Amino acid sequence: MESIVYPPGVRDLSEDISTDDLVRRLKECAQAFQSMAQDEENAHRYEPLAHLLISERFLEHKSRDVHLLVACCIADIFRVSAPDAPYKDEKQIKMLLEFFIDQLEGLRNPDNPAFKRYFYLLENLSVVKTFNICFDLEDCQITVCRLFKQMFKIINDHQFLKLQRIIVDLLCPLINEADVIPAGLINIIFNHIIDPKKTDNKNACILAQEILRKTSSSIGTYVQAYFTNEFYLGKPVSKRLCDLIYELHFINCGMMAFVIPQLEGKLKSSDEEEREIVTEVVARMFSDKKSNMIEENKSLWTSFLARFNDISAKVRLCCVQYVNNFLLYHPESETEVTELLRQRYHDTDEDVRLKVTSTIFSAAKENIKCINDTILFHMKERMLDTKFRIRKESLLGVAKLYKQYVLDSEYVDPATEKLLSFVKDKVLYNYYQSTLEDKFLVERILHTCLVPYQTCMEKRMKLLYQFYCTIDDRAARAFKEILRNQKHMRSLTIGLLEIIQQKRSEKKKLLEAKIKTIARSKQVSENATLSLNDRRQIKRLFLLVLLLRVPCHFLMPKLVELCQTLAKDRPALSKLKMERTAATIYSGSKKCSYTYDFQ
């Protein structure tokens, strides 16, 4: 057996010494190797020491510090001995590579006192390309896959960019220089660019994306084979597969040049679920902000547009939910998309009509200029839809746009103001609808969007004056009706409180009659107001809120207290009650302000 040669100043490691002494000697050894240059003469003389370090005594030692220091020493021996390896036996090499992977687990905890040494180990393995030696092993795929899994686990926010660069330099050669890339390795990488792992570990996702970019020329053939195999298995395309297509297309569109055209046939699949899944991924790719696919894939674009008229409501829904992106980021598609929306605004499925409405307002919120006259016309139509939830979406949508671009904007664009000039009148017209839901909605929009209650008193009165002077006669009548109803509800509630305070024998009958009147006006159960009878604190607060005898700054906390007390049992009802009867409006937060009470 060859005698073991140690670097200068390093004491014997083969002696039977305590763990603390062993750690100290290993630190000396690690420091000595760290300072050695790669081209030092007779580097092979440290091979006996390298074999000592992989003995059972060191690799199975109970101390983690011993494991880490041994790993650092061996990694440096690889560096000093390069390009020759200090080990020839395949079993030893595999055992050592597995040992390295185990030690890299320490990088998961940046607070570990030994983190810098773990970092040095990783950097050393990356620079020397130590893991490339596994190409000489028969079952190297297992080791390579385990290394990739470990790297995706340890990546974290701590020194993320530096750590990512080192890991990429470590892993990419294992793909670029490999004769064969195992399917298991491709799946490991793919799993980190789609949910749930994409969301759970964003750093690992970024790492996987960078690896795919750096290895696209080598891995591209295997990716194409992967998708070809999936497409021709005869089973419907899965959501996972479509998510992969989307992500890979924007990582490197060249890798997917063979795959994208195959989606055209899937858009016409007889399987509704498959058609829906493929339509969604195609819509995402076409509508993406940085996408050039409309120009590059005309045939696929035409096939996608046909899905707007698909027999399945779910497929039509997939199409319209990305309309906002088309209007915002792809003006070249405006004519075609607008024409298709004309039909979807009148879709027989109310979910589709609702989605069209919400996506249009989503786009207008970001840029009102993307809304043309045709789209605006249909927006107005939906304010009179047969379904309340669509009317609600439309009314709230136009009202919020009016508030955003006309009331809250420092500079009001005359063209935009003219475009939205219809809002005040059209919203108030809906007060003539027969349902109380519509009336409540109009009242709420009036106080939150048209004359916002949260603005200061001076500005609010100016807005109220301008509002009243610019609405037409029909809208003005609706506005007066709102004020009249609000005053009537306050009077009814005050009358209810007065009856409760009386001690007359017929009090019960009077109380029941008053409660029925209030309940009918709100379409709610009569039991909703019965709790007032024996709760003095609530009665006191109600009188303060209703009688208009205290300043706003004093009234605000009282209204909050009252709403919180009532909301314990019926939060939605109590909020509605206060909105219709109080001299202030309550938004659900701890902010209140006067509304308008014309006597």
**pLDDT of the residue at 232:** 76
**pLDDT of the residue at 460:** 86
The pLDDT tens digits of the residues spanning 502-520 come to 766 666 666 667 666 666 6
CA 300/CA 334 separation, integer angstroms: 17
Q: Which of these ranges, 201-215, 271-285, 555-569, has the smallest mean pLDDT? A: 555-569
Mean pLDDT of all residues in 376-383: 92
CA 595/CA 578 separation, integer angstroms: 12
Indicate whether 313 pLDDT > 80: yes
CA 108/CA 104 separation, integer angstroms: 8
Contacts for 253 with CB less than 8 Å, ≥ 6 apart? none
**pLDDT of the residue at 193:** 96
Q: Would you call 54 helix, strand, or coil by DSSP?
A: coil
Average pLDDT in the chain: 85
Determine contact, residues 193/204, Cβ cutoff 8 Å.
no
CA 404/CA 416 separation, integer angstroms: 11
pLDDT band, very low/low/confident/very high, at 46 (cuts 50, 70, 90): confident
Determine contact, residues 125/172, Cβ cutoff 8 Å.
no
**pLDDT of the residue at 358:** 95
CA 29/CA 14 separation, integer angstroms: 13
Mean pLDDT of all residues in 284-302: 93
Whole-angstrom CA distances from 300 to 68, 258, 262, 297 are 55, 13, 9, 5
Mean pLDDT of all residues in 162-172: 95
DSSP 290: T
* Residue 338 token pair: 């607008």
Indicate whether 592 pLDDT > 70: no
The pLDDT tens digits of the residues spanning 531-570 come to 554 456 666 666 665 555 555 555 556 666 666 666 565 5
Over pLDDT 90: what percentage of the chain?
A: 60
Determine contact, residues 409/359, Cβ cutoff 8 Å.
no
The pLDDT tens digits of the residues spanning 334-349 come to 999 999 999 999 999 9
Indicate whether 462 pLDDT > 70: yes
Residue type at 194? I
**SS3 annotation, 89-143:** CHHHHHHHHHHHHHHHHHHHCCCCCCHHHHHHHHHHHHHHCHHHHHHHCCCHHHH
**pLDDT of the residue at 542:** 60
- With the CA atoms of 329, 330, 335 and 341 taken in that order, what torsion angle do they form, in degrees rounded to the nearest 10? -50
pLDDT band, very low/low/confident/very high, at 120 (cuts 50, 70, 90): very high
DSSP 271: -
pLDDT band, very low/low/confident/very high, at 584 (cuts 50, 70, 90): very low
Determine contact, residues 512/519, Cβ cutoff 8 Å.
no
The pLDDT tens digits of the residues spanning 414-456 come to 999 999 999 999 999 999 999 989 999 999 999 889 998 878 8
Determine contact, residues 257/264, Cβ cutoff 8 Å.
no
pLDDT band, very low/low/confident/very high, at 3 (cuts 50, 70, 90): confident
Rg (CA), the chain: 36
pTM, two decimals, is 0.80
* Residue 422 token pair: 């219809």
The pLDDT tens digits of the residues spanning 348-378 come to 999 999 999 999 999 999 999 999 999 999 9
**pLDDT of the residue at 386:** 93
The pLDDT tens digits of the residues spanning 225-235 come to 898 888 877 67
**pLDDT of the residue at 528:** 45
CA 508/CA 490 separation, integer angstroms: 21
* Backbone dihedral region for residue 471 (phi beyond 0: left; psi -120 to 50: alpha; all else: beta): beta
pLDDT band, very low/low/confident/very high, at 158 (cuts 50, 70, 90): confident
Q: Would you call 585 helix, strand, or coil by DSSP?
A: strand
Indicate whether 597 pLDDT > 50: no
Q: Between 182 and 592, name the one with better pLDDT.
A: 182
pLDDT band, very low/low/confident/very high, at 333 (cuts 50, 70, 90): very high
Determine contact, residues 69/90, Cβ cutoff 8 Å.
no
CA 332/CA 344 separation, integer angstroms: 20
Element of type H or E holding 581: helix 571-581
**pLDDT of the residue at 197:** 93
**pLDDT of the residue at 88:** 87
Angle at alpha carbon of residue 239, lines to 235 and 240, rounded to 5°: 95
Mean pLDDT of all residues in 305-315: 96
pLDDT band, very low/low/confident/very high, at 490 (cuts 50, 70, 90): confident
